[in-house]
Structure 1
Amino acid sequence: MEHIVTAQDAVTAFAEFMEPTAAELEAIEREMPLVLAEVDLLDAQIVCLDRVPNELDTRRIRRALGRVLAARAALANRTDTVQSGGAA
């Protein structure tokens, strides 16, 4: 009979390359307003899943969508983003 052994130690072993770099952490910080706006929109949509949205729900979704669009526009218009690839 052969024993089945998990490879958890190999999968969850600590390695320095698994940690996020400073550039990755900065990118996360830059995108955080968009992530939070999308979470608010998702929360507003989840509330309406099991019922017909009333006027207040509709306004909440519309405002949340506006915040998502504004956050996306602000993120797209940032001038301090680093160009990657072969952009000239």
Structure 2
Amino acid sequence: MNHIVTVQDAVTAFADFMEPTAAELDAIELESPLILAEVELLHAQIITLDRTPNELDKRRIRRARNRVLGARRDLINRAADAAGGAA
């Protein structure tokens, strides 16, 4: 008779090594304003999928795009400052 053996121990044995490092968590935190701005832009675009965008929708999308651009600029400038230069 063949016994069925689970591989749960082998799979979860390396769970501690699969967690994000402190550096990865710091990078995520650094990029979070950009991620949130992109989500807001996506939300504004999704709203207009099933209808013709009115003036308010156009303004909402334009402002969301400007927030994304500002967040990207800030992220690049922070990275450049950390590297010793300015963008």
The TM tier, using the shorter chain, reads: 0.7 to 0.9
Q: Give 1:19's aligned amino acid.
A: E
How many pairs were matched up? 78
Q: 1:15 deviation in Å? A: 1.7
Please give the TM-score of this superposition, normalised by the length of structure 2.
0.78
Q: What aligned pairs does 1:39-78 form with structure 2 within 5 A after superposition?
A: 39-78=39-78
Runs of 4+ in 1 over 4 A off after TM superposition: none
Cα distance change, pair 20–49 in 1 and its aligned pair in 2 (3 A):
same
Q: Distance in 2 between matches of 1:6 and 1:54?
A: 57
Q: Distance in 1 between matches of 2:6 and 2:57?
A: 48
Secondary structure at the counterpart of residue 69 of structure 2? helix
- In the alignment, structure 1 residue 80 sits paired with structure 2 residue 82: yes
1:37 alignment partner in structure 2: 37
More helix by share: 2
Gaps of 5+ in 1: 82-88
Q: Give 1:21's aligned amino acid.
A: T
Q: Distance in 2 between matches of 1:23 and 1:80?
A: 14
Q: 1:80 deviation in Å? A: 2.2
Q: Give 1:68's aligned amino acid.
A: V
Q: 1:6 deviation in Å? A: 8.2
Q: Give 2:63's aligned amino acid.
A: R
Q: Give 2:71's aligned amino acid.
A: A
2:15 alignment partner in structure 1: 15
Secondary structure at the counterpart of residue 52 of structure 1? coil
Secondary structure at the counterpart of residue 77 of structure 1? helix
Q: Give 1:48's aligned amino acid.
A: T
Q: 1:16 deviation in Å? A: 1.2
